[in-house]
Structure 1
Amino acid sequence: NLFREEYSSILKDLNKNLIVFIDNLDRCLPQNAIQTLEAIRLFLFLPKTAFVIAADEDMIRTSVSEYFKGTSARHHIDYLDKLIQVPIRVPRTGLLEIRSYLFLLHAVNAGIEEDLIEDLRLALEKSLQESWHEDPMKKEDALKVLKCEGNIELAIAFDQVDRIAPIFATSPIIHGNPRIVKRLLNIVKMRSNIAKRRKISLDENVITKLVIFERCAGEEAANALYSMIDTNKNFKKIISEL
């Protein structure tokens, strides 16, 4: 009580609000995550004080169950419900958001000037805001914003976006997670560059198919596919049918 009184008095004298942002709490070990939340408890219901916590809710509930071993499932739910006053759940990234994100990633990978990429970002943002009554931005319009109408390689990459964005957005393995999307795209680029250095003629669309298959089907299925390709002369047909 003495701490709360002194703390409240200090903030009152300063005539300022205290807002503390805590990001990636779910990346902490269970003990550290819960100890952080317990420390926050000391400041609950104090005037002019707010904590903004960004974390994966399921991961934090798992930390609660590990930290308070032997407690019931109901306790795990109540713990966060009592601590978090205003929960704000960020919706999963949708198809149009993933599509826009892929456009930007391809533009960055193509080495487009930062000013033009910012122009594209603003144009895509406007397109998303108006998506409820307007069609999404076309790849031709995106290329025009970037002043890359004649860039065939970027046009091919943008054309691919419309094929893979639905998979990224709806796959239960990828969940429209931007970090996973960027990671998969980086893997595709890395393998494509390796193939070019070794002078292997390999379509980037094929590499993309394989990378997505590995992620969504799992290691065992991927190994089985590669074994099938190694022992089958018609491997091109197998890949085209993925």
Structure 2
Amino acid sequence: MDAQKRAPIDLEAPVVCRACEARHGGVCSTLTSAQLLELNRHSTRRKVEAGNEVIGQGESIDSYSNILRGVVKLSKMMADGRQQIVGLQFAPDFMGRPFIHESTVTAEAATDAEICSFPRALIDRMVAEAPDFERKLHDQSLKELDEARDWMLTLGRKTAQEKVASFLHLIASHADPIRGHVTSFDLPLSRADIADFLGLTIETVSRQMTKLRKDGIIVIENNRHVTVPNLERLRYASGND
């Protein structure tokens, strides 16, 4: 992250928080040193291997989490067992909705991930006591709403190529650029999950990936590693002017 966007180094904050992206770009950026110290006393960091659930749909919520590393996929299941991926979250996103007692989605690590969890009661209290903290959570919710509306457009109106390009642009936008403007990342979802997320078949996803590769918009190695030489070309292929 750009150093100019990072919060000033706070020597009174817990050491573990000073280098954490959630401290600089996430909800924790609004907390005072005293609040961070209290939060740190009750926080738990843990690694979640790809494919493991963080929380299941319908489960009682006893904690919230910051994503420190990796990608988490959100899905909803119907009564007959059909499932749909409805979103992705990245570091330093906050997982959970204060004051809601039951999860409305299943959150599963799409890649190996690391999260920092806090007791629900503590966060609910901090939301009530810290207006900036509440505002930051509100801003994230509005951002997710905007992204959901954009994704409705993607699913409802875009061509298959634009859908695949939109997905790749979403992932690339959250990846760390290398060598200037070149962005490189591993796909966080399988071809089957990408197809589910985009409402396409696996074969269509593979064909559109191949077309984007032949057009020089992306480079694919080992069927999973993607390099984007020019992010603007990918954005244009996604149908976003």
The answer to whether TM tops 0.5 is: no
* RCO comparison, higher one (Cα < 8 Å, 6+): 2
Q: Larger % of helix: which?
A: 1
TM-score (norm 2): 0.25
TM-score (norm 1): 0.25
Q: Larger % of strand: which?
A: 2
